[in-house]
Amino acid sequence: MKRPVLILTGALFLLTFIIVLYRVIGLEYPLLPAAPGQTWQLLINIRIVPGSEEGVLSLGLPLEHTGKTIIEERVFSGRYSFATLKQGPNRIGVWSGEGIADPQEITYGATILYGPSRNSVSRSPLIGPYRSTLNREEQKFLQELAFTWGRLEPAARLKAIAAALNGDWGASRPKDAVIRQWGELSQKYDRADIALALLTAARLPARATEGLILTEGVYNSPKRWIEVWLSRAWSNLDPETGEISEAAAALLPLAVGEMPAASVRGAEVSDIRWMLRRQVLSNWSLHFQRIIHSDHLLDRWSLFRLPQEFQLTFRILLLVPIGALIICFLRNVIGLPTFGIFMPMLMALAFRSTGLLYGTVIFVGIIGVGFLVRSVLDKFHLLLVPRLSVILTLVIACFTMLALLGNKLGLREFMAVGLIPFVILTMTIERFFVIVEELGTREALLTTAGSTAVAIITYGIIRWETLQLTFFVYPELLLTVVALQIIIGRYTGYRLSEFFRFGSLRGSS
C-alpha cells in the first residue's frame, strides 16, 4: 500500500481515537450503551371537576430513597397551577386553581431508573407513636401481646408478626382470650393500621406506604404496604398477605407515612389512573439532559440536540456507511455478486418495515414477475425509457395488490411494501434480464442470490441497537469507516470466491 494512503488512513484512525477518548475521559461519556438496572415509565392521568371553592389536588410523586433515580418528569396542568413540595421523605405535587368552571385533565409523567439499591437513612429511624384512634387499653394490650417477641432479633421479630397476622402464632401461642381480643381488634381497625400498631408495640420502626407494584398495567388505586426498618435497610410487609419482601426494586413508593397517594380539597376527582410501562433506556439517554445543557463544543454539536422525531432517523442513517463498508468487503474480498451497491443497502433498509422473511419473498417474487413481463416486452422492441416506465408501473401495481392483500389477511408486512425502493427494483429487473441474455440464467440467479445475501447481512447489522447508539453518540466513527473503505478500495488480491472457482486449475498445476 502506497505511503499517501497509509498516511490518510492512519490520520483518520488517529482523529477518531482522539475525539472518542476526549468524550469518554473529558466529557464522561459512557463506554457501554446498556444501562444497569430497570427503567420504568410512570403516567398518572387525573380528571378533576372543580367545585365552588379553590380546588387543590395533592399527589404523591416518585421517591428516590431506595435506589431509584428520576431521569425526567413531565407535567400537564390544564388551567391549574403546579408546584412541588418536600414534606419529610415525601415529594408532593400540588395543583391548585380557583374560578375554573370546566373539568380539567391533569397529567404527570416520569421516567424512573432502578439501579443498585441505596438507602438514604444513615441511622435507625425513631419508633413512631401509635395512631390516635387507639385508646390506652388497646395500646397496652398490643404491648403485652408483642412482649413475647421482644428477645428476638429484628428480622425474626418481623417474621413472627407477619405470621401472627395470618393467625399463625407458632410455639408462643397466647391464651384463647387473648386471641379472641386480638380478633376483635383486627375487625375494628384496618388491617394495615393494626399491623402498623403491632410493629410499634414490638419496638420496630415502621411506616405506612402507598405506591404501585412494578408490573406493567393500569391501576385505579395504589397499593398499601408497610416499610419496616431492620438494622440497615427497609423491608416491605404486605399486611393483607403477611408476605415480607426485601427487594425494594419490586415496588414504587409514592407516599410515606400519614400522607395518602392522592387527595383533593375543594373539588372532585372523577377519574384517576396510574399506568406503568417498562422502557428500554440506554446510558446515552441517561446523559441526554446533561448533553443538551452543556457548553462544551462537542456537546453543542451533538445529535442529541436534534428534535426527538429526527433522532431515530439519524440513528439508522449513520449505519448506512457501515452497510456500504460490508457490501464493499463482500464484493471485493469475498466475491459475492450483487446488483450494484445501492440495491442491497436500500433493500436492507426496507426489511426493517416488511420483516426479513416477507421482505425477501416479496423481493424475489417481484423480480420473477418483472422478468416475465420484461421478456414479453422484448418482443415489442420498445425504447429504453418507455420500457422502464412500463416495468415501473408493473412494480407499483404489484405493491398495490400486495397492500390490498395484506389488508385482507391482516398482514402489516405486506402493507409496508411501499417502503421498498421501487426505482431500484425497476432497474434490478432490467439488469436481471440483461444478465440472463448475456451471461445466462445461472449467472443471473447467482447475482440475485448474492444481492439477497448481502441485503440480509446488512439488515442484521443496521438493526443492531447497540451499534446504532454507538454511532449516534460517536458520529466521528464514520472517519474510521472511511479509512476502512479506502483500505478495501486498495485491495487488489484474489477474492475468496476465486479460490473455489479456479480450484481445479490450482490442483492440475
Rounded to whole angstroms, the Cα distance separating 31 from 20 reads 10
Rounded to whole angstroms, the Cα distance separating 255 from 263 reads 11
Rounded to whole angstroms, the Cα distance separating 382 from 384 reads 6
pLDDT (0 to 100) of residue 478: 94
Rounded to whole angstroms, the Cα distance separating 235 from 198 reads 16
List, by residue range, all CATH 3.10.620.30 domains of the chain. Answer: 136-256
Neighbours of 68 (CB within 10 A): 23
Rounded to whole angstroms, the Cα distance separating 126 from 77 reads 37
Q: What is the CATH topology of the domain spanning 38-118+261-282? A: Immunoglobulin-like (2.60.40)
Rounded to whole angstroms, the Cα distance separating 320 from 314 reads 10
The H or E element that residue 50 is part of is: strand 38-50
pLDDT (0 to 100) of residue 370: 92
User: Exposed, middle or buried, 30 (CB in 10 Å: 0-12/13-18/19+)?
Assistant: middle
Per-residue pLDDT tens, the chain, 509 aa: give them.
678 888 899 999 999 999 999 888 888 777 765 544 567 889 999 999 988 788 899 999 987 655 567 777 889 888 889 998 888 888 999 999 888 888 889 999 988 876 554 444 445 677 767 766 778 888 888 888 888 787 788 888 888 888 888 778 776 777 778 888 888 888 888 888 888 888 888 888 888 889 998 888 888 889 888 888 887 778 888 888 888 876 555 788 899 888 889 999 988 888 899 999 876 555 555 566 566 667 788 878 888 778 766 777 787 788 888 888 888 888 888 888 888 777 888 888 888 778 888 888 888 899 999 999 999 999 888 898 899 999 999 999 998 998 888 888 877 778 777 767 888 889 899 999 999 998 899 899 988 998 898 888 888 887 787 788 788 888 999 999 999 999 998 888 777 776 666 665 555 55
List, by residue range, all CATH 2.60.40.2250 domains of the chain. Answer: 38-118+261-282
User: Exposed, middle or buried, 351 (CB in 10 Å: 0-12/13-18/19+)?
Assistant: buried
Whole-number Cα distances in Å, 468 to 321, 418, 426, 465: 12, 24, 30, 5
pLDDT (0 to 100) of residue 287: 60
pLDDT (0 to 100) of residue 119: 45
> What is the chain's Cα-based Rg?
34
Q: How distant is the alpha carbon of residue 88 from its chain centre?
A: 32
C-alpha cell at 507: 490442483
Rounded to whole angstroms, the Cα distance separating 204 from 244 reads 14
Phi (first) and psi of residue 323, to 5 degrees: -60, -40
The H or E element that residue 73 is part of is: strand 66-76
**CA neighbours within 13 Å on the CB side: how many for 370?**
32
- Secondary structure of the chain: what % helix, strand, coil (to 5)? 50, 20, 25
Instruction: Give the residue among 262, 230, 253 at the shortest CA–CA distance from 89.
Output: 253
Rounded to whole angstroms, the Cα distance separating 104 from 272 reads 12
Q: Which amino acid is at 176?
A: D
Phi (first) and psi of residue 213, to 5 degrees: -80, 135
**The whole model's pTM is what?**
0.51
Instruction: Give the residue among 191, 241, 238 at the shortest CA–CA distance from 211.
Output: 238
Q: Report helix, strand or coil for 263.
A: strand
pLDDT (0 to 100) of residue 504: 59
Is there a contact between 354 and 362 (Cβ–Cβ < 8 Å)?
Answer: yes
What CATH number has the domain spanning 136-256?
A: 3.10.620.30
pLDDT (0 to 100) of residue 118: 43
3-state secondary structure 427-479: HHHHHHHHHHHHHCHHHHHHHHHHHHHHHHHHHHHHCCHHHHHHHHHCCCHHH
Q: Which residues contact 157 (CB under 8 A, 6 or more apart)?
A: 149, 150, 202, 204
Rounded to whole angstroms, the Cα distance separating 9 from 490 reads 11
Q: Report helix, strand or coil for 85.
A: strand
The H or E element that residue 70 is part of is: strand 66-76
Is there a contact between 208 and 224 (Cβ–Cβ < 8 Å)?
Answer: yes
Whole-number Cα distances in Å, 127 to 111, 122, 156, 205, 244: 33, 15, 18, 4, 19
User: In the structure, how many helices (H) and strands (E) does the chain have?
Assistant: 20, 14
